[in-house]
Chain A
C-alpha cells in the first residue's frame, strides 16, 4: 500500500518554533517580573478529549479523559521547558463496511501514551496570565478488541500546541487551564487511510514549584 506524505507537521512545527523563539525575544524586551521562586516545577492535569478525525469519533464514541504529568524547568521568568507523559484511553465499538447494515459489533479500546517535550510562555505578572505552549511528542498506541482477543500497537512522532490561562493561587502554586491541540499520526488504518489520533483537549491542572 502507498503511504501518503504527512504534510500537517509543517504548520505545527512553525508554531513550535515561534513558541520557542517568541518568548525569548519577548523576555529580552520586557522588564523582568517578580520571580516565582522555584526553578523546577511539577504539574498534573486532566480534561476532556475530542478526536479530530471523524473515523476515530465514529469508532470511539465514548467520552475520553486525558491525564498528563509534567516536570519542568523555568528557564526564564516567563519561559518554561518541560517533559510530560500524557495518557489517554478511548473506548468504543467496531463499525461495519459501507454496504453492510445491522448485526453485531465488538467492544474496542485504544490506549495512547504520548511522551512530550515542550516549551511554554506566559505573559504578564498579574494573578491571571495568558499562556502559549508547543512541542513535539512521541505517541505509543495500542488498539485491542478485548473479547477476541485481538490487538495491535505502534508508535509515531507527533506535535502539539496549547493556549490557556494560568491563575496564581500562591507564590509557587498555579491553576492552569488549557486548550490543547495535538496531531498524532497513527499510520495506515484498517480501511487503507492514514489515521490521525490527535485531537483537542480541554484540561485543568495544578502546577507547583518543587525546588
Chain B
C-alpha cells in the first residue's frame, strides 16, 4: 500500500470528525446576543420557553442572550430575531441614549453602534477609549450579559401601595417644611467646588469623602462607603446612609442620586451642578430631615458613583441587594432637578410597568407640597439613570427629572448660577414627602410588636382547611383594641378581619385554604379611635 493512500483513508474520518466538532462549536454552543421584537410579557415568556434569557427590556424590543441552537425555536414562536452581538467575545456592550442621527465620530474600528429603537443605540465596544468618540449629549448604560433579569422584573409588582397605610399629611407636613433652599444651594456649591467629580478621579473620591462626612455628622444614621471596581481597573465608592426602621426594618425605601459628573473636559472641569449635584444635595437634605424622625421601615439614602460611565455604582448596589435578598419596596432616584427651563416647570416621574403604582403614589404624596407639575411617564426604554439598575433587579423604581433640555448638560458650564433653586426646593420637598410616606412615619398609637403566627391543617378524606393562630404583645399606651389584617401575598392588599377592635392579644383565623400562604399584620386602636400603622408582617407558617 502506498503511504499517501493510507494517510488519505485515515484522514477522511478524522476530517469528518473535526468538521462535525467545529460545526458543533460554531452552531451549537455559540452564544448570541439577539434583538428580539416585539416586547411584551408574552414575548418574554416565549423567549424563556425557547431557552433564551432577557438581559434588557426596552419598549419595542428585548435584548436576549441565547444559544445559536435556540434560534429556530425563537423564530418558530413568531419572534423577529436579529443577532447583534457575541456575549462570549471580547467586546463590552452598552446601551446609549442619544437623540442624534450620527452619535459616533470616526471609523467603526473598535466601536460598532446599532440602532435598537428611537434614541436607543447598542454599542459594541472593543476600544476602551470609545467615550471620546461619542457625540454629546449621550447617556450610557453598561449591559451585564452574564445576568438575566430576575423573574420579578417581568411580573406585575404586588400592589404594595395598598399595603401601605393611607397617607398621613400630619406626619409629613412638618418634615417637608424643614427643607431649605439655602442648604440645597450650599451643598450644590460644595459639590461643584470639587472641579470635577468624574468617577475614578481623586476629586470624585474627595467628593465621596465629603458626602460620607456629612452623613456621619447626623445622629441616628449609619453611614458607610460601598467601594466597587468597574471596567477592570477603575474604582469608586457609593456613599450610603441608613436610617433603621422601627417596626419592620427589613423593608427598605431607598432614595438615590449620582454624585459623579462628566463633561466635555471631564478630567479637568465637570461641575455637574444640575447633573447631578442638584439630586445629591436633595439626598443630603432629605437625610438631615428624615434622620430626625422615626419610621416603620428603613430608609436608605444612596449617593451613587460612576453613573456617567454606565450606571456602574447603582448596578453594583442593586445586584448586591438582590443577591442578599434585600426587600427594597421602592426606589426614588433624583437626577437633574434644578433646571426647569422657562416654560413648563415640570418634573417627570419616570417608571417602568412594574413601578406604575410607585409613580402614582409618589405624585399623590408629593403634590400637596409642590408648586410644580408632576408628570407620570411609564416607559421601560428610559434606562439612562440609576433607577434602571433597580428595574433590572426587579425592584420598583422611579426617576424624578426636570422635563426640559438643559443646554449646559455634560458641559463645563453646568454650574450653580444656571439653576432654579425654587424648582429644586419643590422637587426635594416632593421627594421627601414621597419617601416619608412610603417609609410610614411612626404613628400614635404605636403598632403592636411581637406578632407570631402558627398554623395547622385539619384533614378529612377529601377536604382540608388551615387554621392560623396569631398572638402579639400589647402595644404601648392606652389601647382600646386591635385590628387584624390578612393578605395572600407579602405586603399585598390587606383585608381587615375584625369588624370592631378586639380586646384580646390573640386571634384565630379558621377554614383557610391549606396550600395558600397568608400574611398578617395587626394594628392597635387607642381610646380615641386612632389606629396605628401596621405591625411587622408575619406569614402563617412562620412559627410552625
Chain A residues with CB below 8 A from B514, complex form: 190
Docked-complex contact A190 and B544, CB < 8 angstroms: no
Chain A 34-62, CB within 8 Å of chain B: the 1/0 string?
Answer: 00000000000000000000011001100
B246 within 8 A of A: no
The yes or no answer to A100 lying at the interface (CB within 8 A) is yes
- CB pair B462–A105 under 8 Å, yes or no, is no
Using A99-B544, A150-B511 as known contacts, say yes or no to A106 and B461 having CB atoms under 8 A apart. no
* B463 with A152: CB separation less than 8 A: yes
Interface centre among B456, B460, B465, B511, by most chain A C-beta atoms within 10 angstroms, is: B460
Per-position 1/0 for B304-329, Cβ under 8 A of A? 00000000000000000000000000
The answer to whether the Cβ of B4 comes within 8 Å of any Cβ in the partner chain is no
A158: chain B residues within 8 A (beta carbon): none
Task: Please indicate the chain B residues that have their CB under 8 angstroms from the CB of A94 in the complex.
Answer: 458-460
What range describes how many residues of B lie at the interface? Answer: 10 to 19
Tell me whether B511 and A190 are in contact (CB under 8 A). Answer: no
Within the complex, which residue of A106, A143, A148 is in contact with B462, where a contact is CB–CB below 8 Å?
A: A143
Query: A148-B511, A150-B465, A150-B511 in contact; A103/B456 too (CB < 8 A)?
Result: yes
The prevalent SS among residues of B at the interface is: strand
**Shortest Cβ distance from B455 into A: residue:** A100
B461 engages A59 (CB within 8 Å):
yes
| Residues of A in contact, count (CB < 8 Å) | 31
Choice from B456, B460, B511 contacting A59 with Cβ under 8 Å: B460
Interchain CA distance A197-B460 in the complex, whole Å: 13
**Interface flags, B517-544, vs A, CB<8A=1, else 0:** 0000000000000000000000000001
A-chain residues with CB within 8 Å of residue B458 when the two chains form the complex: 94-96, 104-106
Check if B364 is an interface residue, CB within 8 A of chain A.
Answer: no
Expressed in whole angstroms, the Cα–Cα distance for A55 and B460 within the complex equals 9
B77 sits at the interface (CB 8 A): no
Which residues of B from 386 to 422 have beta carbons under 8 Å from A?
none
- B residues in contact with A60, CB < 8 Å: 461
Q: Is A11 in the interface zone, CB < 8 Å from B? A: no
Given pairs A143-B463, A145-B463, A197-B461, 7 additional interface contacts (CB within 8 A):
A56-B461, A145-B460, A151-B463, A186-B462, A187-B462, A190-B460, A190-B462
Which A residues fall within an 8 A CB radius of B?
A: 55-56, 59-60, 92, 94-97, 99-100, 103-106, 108, 110, 143, 145, 148, 150-152, 154, 186-187, 189-191, 195, 197
